[in-house]
Amino acid sequence: MTRNRQFYERMSVYTDIHWLKESGHGSIQWIANYMGLNFRTVRKYLKMSLEEYERYAAGFGQKPRTVYNTVMEVWQEWNIPKVSITERDYQMLPESPSGQYAQVDFGQKKLRKGDGSVQKVYFMAMLQCRSCQKYVLFQDHPFTSEMAVIAHEKAFEYFHGIPKEIIYDQDAVFLWD
C-alpha cells in the first residue's frame, strides 16, 4: 500500500470518528466497536484537532516498526475482523489433577496508607486452579520481564513445584523490559 493511500485512509478514519460522535451515534466504546478500533484510539483521535491529526498521521511509517504496528498491518492486509470483548470465546477447563493448571494475572491498585496518603502498588497473582492456593507478590514499581520471572520463581517455591500449564490473561508485561 502506498504511503499516500495510507495517509488518506487514516484521514478517513479520523473524519468518520468525528462524524459519528458529532451526529450523536453513541459513546466512544460504541464508535470503537462499530469501526473495529480500540476505544483508546477513538478517544485519542477525538481529542485531536484536524491539524494535530494531520501531523500525527504524517509521522506514520517514519519510526521503526513495533509489534503493535506489525499486527495492525497484518489485520488490515488480510482483512481480519477485530473481535469485541462480547464475542470472545470462553470455556471451562476440563477436570484436571491438582498442579495441572495455574492462572497468572498482573495488576495495579491504589491503596490508602495509615497516614491517609495513597500508594500505588503493582502485583502478580498466581492461583493454583484445582487447589485454590494463591500467591501474590506486591511491589511499588511496575513489573519488568526480569521481575516477572523472579515473581514466578517465588510462586513456584511457595507452591513447592511448577504447574504443567500456566494461563495468562493477555498481559503485555513480557513485551517490555
| C-alpha closest to that of 173 among 102, 88, 107, 89 | 107
Residue 134 pLDDT class (50, 70, 90 cuts): very high
Contacts of 152 (CB under 8 A, 6+ apart): 104, 124, 126
Domain 101-175 sits in which CATH superfamily?
A: Ribonuclease H-like superfamily/Ribonuclease H (3.30.420.10)
Does residue 173 carry a pLDDT above 90?
A: no
Residue 177 is predicted with a pLDDT of 44
Domain ranges in the chain with CATH number 3.30.420.10: 101-175
What is the spatial order of strands in the sheet that 134-139 belongs to? Answer: 134-139, 118-128, 101-112, 165-168
Flag whether the pTM goes above 0.75.
no
CB of 56 within 8 A of CB of 48? yes
Residue 34 pLDDT class (50, 70, 90 cuts): confident
Task: Give the mean pLDDT of 92-121.
Answer: 84
Task: Give the mean pLDDT of 24-50.
Answer: 88
